[in-house]
Amino acid sequence: MAERNPGTKLELGWISKVYVNRPEVVRHAEQIKKWRTVKGNWQAAWLLKAVTCIDLTTLSGDDTPSSIHRLCFKAKHPIREDLLKALDMHDKGITVGAVCVYPARVTDAVNALKAAGCNIPVASVAAGFPSGQTPLEIKLAEIKLAVQYGAKEIDIVISRTLVLTGQWEGLYEEIRQCREACGEAHMKTILSTGELGSLANVYKASMIAMMAGSDFIKTSTGKEVENATFPVGVVMMRAIKEFYWQTGYKIFRHVTGSYPLQHDLAMA
C-alpha cells in the first residue's frame, strides 16, 4: 500500500480566495478526451494495470456470505485465463486492488480471501455511507468496527452539508477524527462531487480532506445522480498537485464507476 498522508494543520488561506474558471476547466477536459491512446500491447498493458487498481465492490442490500465469496473469487481471477496466457501474463498474479463491502460483510470477505490464499486487502465503506447524514459518534464507531473486523482500507463519505454551508473547520475536524479512528487502515474520503454545488467547492473539499489526513480522495459513492465527470477530475487533480507542492505528500485520486467496456480485454 501507499505511504500514509500524516495530514497538516488547517490552512484556510489555501482555499479562501479560490476561483475556478469553469469554461477553461471544461475546455481542458474536452481536450483530454481527444488525446491519442496507446494501442496494441501497450493498451493491453495499461488495461491490466488498471485492473490492479480496481476496488471490486458490492454494496447491495441483498449481499450474503455466498455472494461475497463469489466476489472474492472474481477479485483473485479478474481476467479470463486464456487471455492472460495469450498475453504471457498468466503467471504474474494479476488481481484487483481490493474488495470493498459494507462493514457487516467485512468478516465474510476476509475469510473468503484467506481461504483463497491471496492477500488482497478488504476495504469497507463507513461513516454514514452513502448520505453522510449520520451523527459523528456513529460514524466513528462504524469505522472502528470495520477495522476491528479486518478492513485495511476505509471509505468514508463527507457531510455535504458542511461544504454547502461553508463550515470548513467543521469538515476538517470531522475528517480528522475519522482518520484517527481508522488507525493503521488507509482512508479514502468520498467527496460526492455531484452534490457539492460548484467546482470551487470540489477544490476546497479536496484540499480540506487532504489537510485532514486522507490517503485518497474519491469522486463519489456511485449512488448520486451525477458521479465522476472529466471537469471534476481536472479540478481534483489540480488540488492534489497543489497539496503536493505545499507539503510534499502524494495523495491518490479514486474514481467511482463500473468496468470500461474493452472489446479486446474481456473480464472473466
88 carries an active-site annotation: no
**Which pLDDT tens digit goes with each residue over 46-71?**
899 999 999 999 999 999 999 999 99
Burial class (CB in 10 A: 0-12, 13-18, 19+), 265: middle
**Which pLDDT tens digit goes with each residue over 181-220?**
999 999 999 999 999 999 999 999 999 999 999 999 999 9
- CA–CA distances in Å: residue 29 to residues 46, 199, 235: 21, 13, 10
Catalytic member of 76, 144, 188, 218: 218
Give which of 48, 75, 64, 59 is closest to 129, Cα–Cα.
Answer: 59
Partnered with residue 216 across adjacent β-strands are: 188, 252
Give which of 164, 165, 156 is closest to 138, Cα–Cα.
Answer: 156
Q: With beta carbons less than 8 A apart as the criterion, state whether 128 and 102 touch.
A: no
Query: Sheet containing 186-190: which strands, arranged edge to edge?
Result: 55-57, 98-101, 122-125, 153-157, 186-190, 216-218, 252-254
Distance, in Å, from the CA atom of 259 to the CA atom of 56, rounded to the nearest integer, reads 10
Confidence at 258, pLDDT banded by 50, 70, 90: very low
Q: What is the mean pLDDT of residues 90-116?
A: 95
188 carries an active-site annotation: no
Catalytic member of 85, 241, 250, 264: 250
Copy the grid coordinates of residue 197. Answer: 454545488
Catalytic member of 55, 108, 155, 215: 155
Q: What is the mean pLDDT of residues 24-41?
A: 87
Residues shown for the chain: 268
E strand or H helix that includes residue 101: strand 98-101
250 carries an active-site annotation: yes
Q: Is pLDDT of 238 > 90?
A: yes
Q: Is pLDDT of 256 > 80?
A: no
Give which of 170, 168, 211 is closest to 189, Cα–Cα.
Answer: 211
Q: Is pLDDT of 157 > 90?
A: yes
**Which pLDDT tens digit goes with each residue over 165-181?**
999 999 999 999 999 99
Least confident of 35-44, 235-244, 250-259: 250-259
Question: 254 or 129: whose pLDDT is higher?
Answer: 129
Q: Output DSSP code: residue 222.
A: S
Give which of 94, 81, 82 is closest to 45, Cα–Cα.
Answer: 94
**What share of the chain has pLDDT > 70, as a percent?**
93
Distance, in Å, from the CA atom of 112 to the CA atom of 120, rounded to the nearest integer, reads 10
**Do strands 252-254 and 98-101 pair parallel, antiparallel, or not at all (unpaired)?**
unpaired
